[in-house]
Amino acid sequence: MRPHHAQPRAAARVACDNTEGMTWGPTLRDGERTLVLVSDDNFADDAVTQFVALGIR
Overall number of domains in the chain: 1
For 12-53, what is each residue's pLDDT tens digit?
566 667 789 999 999 999 999 999 999 988 898 888 888 888
Q: CB of 38 within 8 A of CB of 21?
A: yes
Reply yes or no on whether the pLDDT at 1 is more than 50: no
Residue 13's pLDDT is what?
63
Residue 32 belongs to what domain range? Answer: 1-57
Q: Which residue would you say has higher pLDDT here, 1 or 57?
A: 57
Q: CB of 53 within 8 A of CB of 25?
A: yes
* Cβ contacts of 16-20, under 8 Å, gap ≥ 24: 16/50, 16/52, 17/47, 18/42, 18/47
